Amino acid sequence: MSRVAPHAWRLALSRHLACDAAGNPTGSATDSSGGGAATLWNNTAVDVFTCPGSGSQTVNEITADLNISGAGANMRCGIYDSTATTLIAQGTAAVAISGAADSWQGHIGQANITPNPTTLTGGTSYVLVVTVSAGSGGTTHGDATTNSAKFDTVDRTGGYSGALPAGTVSQPAWPVRVGVVAAAVASLPQLGRNIFVMP
């Protein structure tokens, strides 16, 4: 049985990798929601994310590399089309952010992603989004590239719907990654996983 080789979803327009081949973040900017709610996504004018492989790819993870430094907060990740107008997938429910150090948190396994299954198309670009509720959620692995992110202060941990707004252009972009496996082999055991990330 052949394994699907893991590799990172590379930034198409940026000059750096958002993560290494194992899906670990390479950014080092520290940022937090400042105690309020926030939704952050990649600014496609700067960072474009293209699903690896070709053909149908089944999503089995949508996570963000986050920490909690004080008051508790929840988070939820999602995937939109490249124009941020059509919701493709999201976590089935909000997840409590845990730990003082960054770790990948969110929606792991197809059962924790809706719709199930969610398929993306290899070679197609997407917008990756994370929202945190009021509290002290943040990251120490943000991508400080100028204008790499967009954000607003709306709490979408109850669920994404409709298009994302124009948002405010800013930086850093918070690290978000999506794990996919080729749809034709998604049910085989011990498969490798392709990872693509928002830095």
Question: What pLDDT is stored for residue 90 in this prediction?
Answer: 98
Q: Residue ranges of the chain with pLDDT lower than 50?
A: 1-17, 186-193
| Annotated domain spans of the chain | 8-198
Which segments within the chain are labelled E, that is strand?
8-9, 29-32, 38-42, 49-50, 55-68, 74-81, 87-91, 95-96, 103-108, 113-114, 119-122, 125-132, 137-142, 149-152, 168-170, 176-182, 194-198
Question: What pLDDT is stored for residue 1 in this prediction?
Answer: 25
Torsion sign, CA atoms 164, 166, 172, 178: positive
Question: What pLDDT is stored for residue 139 in this prediction?
Answer: 93
Question: What pLDDT is stored for residue 26 in this prediction?
Answer: 79
Question: What pLDDT is stored for residue 47 in this prediction?
Answer: 84
Supply the pTM of this predicted model.
Answer: 0.84
